[in-house]
């Protein structure tokens, strides 16, 4: 559900940048504090033991988002968003910052999602997942994270987050005045296709979280309660498992991703007759110029005479490594803020 710049007016895009920047700033502020629970009843401290997990789980989600799975009978495809998965393992605020890192890397280095649209993408995929985690996932697993509870919580919260996110996309294009995407027609296509995508992602999320619960149940419990992990708790094995899964997913499975348009592109094409809308103006030009300079591997490939499969595999590995670096750096910076002595 990565929005392109052409789907937004500069006013809406800029406004959503401000909204998402506020959400990310709030997350940083709360993670840098000492209280266990803040607004919305969400855990808001940074557990230093989870900083490496921010990097590895972020890389896993980056790689996972490269794999589009076919939605049978539609001609469309979908990919995981990863917000609920990250929130359950890392805690909601670290998850929001990690997913924002993934989206930033996709935008700048791979030209996936517009720079003007970055605020919308963070909100539609990250903030909505955070709220779904708080109001659906946490209550459903409270009192015992059995496999059945994890499955129900994962599927329902992912569906809810995607439905709200899809609705936000429709509203953002509507308030942007994108005449090629009339509200009702766009809504009628966006909601059902993202329901189907949500069911698949929910089951994938449930499978991953069921493994995490069996291997290290302390992770899901600490994310839900806000309690820090014991210093002596070993995480090496689970880190190694997700490193291996990330390499396999990004470096191998991504080659076999569906070529069908994703749910957003499919919906746009169904209404407008084309998935490639265009807008002209200085803001769009400036945003495109920035991405053109930073995109090392646009569309997850190298172009030229390099085989597409090799380019995709390399993009999966390189993107995962950059994600690890940015997410871990984010965690370390927040850790540094917490340790910085306050003025008397």
Q: Using one digit for the tens of pLDDT, what is the confidence trace for 40-84?
A: 555 556 889 999 999 999 999 999 999 999 999 999 999 999 999
Residue 98 belongs to a domain:
yes
9 Cβ neighbours under 8 A, 6+ residues apart: 175, 176, 177, 178
**CA–CA gap between residue 126 and residue 120 (Å, rounded):** 10
CATH number at residue 33: 1.10.1760.20
DSSP notation for 223-263: HHH-PPPPTT---HHHHHHHHHHHHHHHHTGGGG---S-BH
- Residue 68 maps to a domain: yes
The predicted-structure confidence for 91-150, as pLDDT tens digits, reads as follows 999 999 999 999 999 999 999 999 999 999 999 999 999 999 999 999 999 867 899 999
CA-wise closest residue to 140 among 84, 193, 74, 188: 84
Instruction: Examine residue 111 and state whether it is found in any structural domain, yes or no.
Output: yes
Q: Please list the alpha-helical segments (H only) found in the chain.
A: 10-31, 51-65, 83-90, 92-110, 118-122, 128-132, 138-141, 147-175, 183-215, 217-225, 236-251, 263-272, 282-294, 308-339
Q: Is the confidence at residue 29, as pLDDT, over 80?
A: yes
CA–CA separation, 16 vs 56, rounded Å? 28
Conformation bin of residue 342: beta by default, left when phi > 0, alpha when psi is -120 to 50: beta
Whole domain around residue 308: which residue ranges?
5-339
State the residue for tokens 């499919």. Answer: 266
Q: How many domains does the chain have?
A: 1
pLDDT tens-digit map of 137-188:
999 998 678 999 999 999 999 999 999 999 999 999 999 999 999 999 999 9
Contact 181, 272 (CB under 8 A): yes
Alpha-carbon torsion angle 148, 149, 150, 153, nearest 10: 120
Does 274 map to a domain? yes
For residue 344, being part of any structural domain is answered with no
- Percent pLDDT > 70 in the chain is 94
């Amino acid at each position: 559900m990565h929005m392109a710049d052409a789907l937004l007016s500069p006013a809406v895009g800029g406004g959503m940048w401000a909204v998402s920047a506020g959400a990310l700033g709030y997350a940083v502020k709360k993670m840098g504090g000492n209280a266990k629970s803040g607004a919305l009843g969400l855990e808001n401290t940074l557990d230093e033991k989870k900083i490496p997990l921010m990097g590895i789980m972020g890389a896993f989600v980056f790689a996972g988002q490269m794999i589009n799975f076919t939605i049978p009978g539609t001609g469309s495809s979908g990919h995981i968003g990863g917000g609920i998965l990250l929130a359950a393992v890392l805690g909601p605020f670290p998850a929001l910052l990690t997913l924002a890192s993934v989206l930033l890397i996709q935008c700048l280095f791979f030209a996936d999602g517009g720079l003007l649209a970055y605020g919308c993408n963070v909100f539609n995929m990250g903030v909505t997942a955070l709220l779904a985690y708080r109001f659906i996932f946490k209550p459903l697993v409270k009192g015992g994270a059995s496999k059945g509870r994890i499955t129900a919580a994962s599927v329902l919260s992912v569906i809810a987050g995607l439905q709200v996110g899809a609705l936000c996309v429709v509203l953002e294009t509507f308030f942007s005045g994108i005449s090629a995407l009339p509200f009702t027609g766009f809504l009628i296509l966006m909601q059902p296709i993202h329901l189907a995508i949500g069911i698949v992602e929910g089951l994938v999320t449930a499978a991953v979280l069921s493994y995490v619960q069996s291997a290290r149940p302390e992770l899901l419990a600490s994310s839900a309660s806000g309690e820090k992990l014991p210093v002596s708790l070993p995480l090496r094995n689970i880190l190694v498992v997700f490193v291996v899964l990330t390499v396999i997913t990004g470096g191998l499975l991504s080659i076999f991703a569906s070529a069908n348009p994703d749910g957003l592109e499919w919906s746009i094409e169904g209404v407008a007759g084309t998935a490639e809308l265009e807008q002209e103006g200085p803001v769009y030009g400036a945003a495109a110029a920035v991405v053109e300079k930073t995109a090392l591997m646009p569309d997850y490939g190298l172009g030229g005479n390099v085989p597409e499969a090799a380019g995709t595999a390399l993009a999966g590995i390189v993107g995962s490594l950059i994600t690890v670096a940015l997410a871990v750096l984010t965690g370390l910076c927040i850790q540094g803020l917490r340790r910085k002595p306050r003025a008397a």
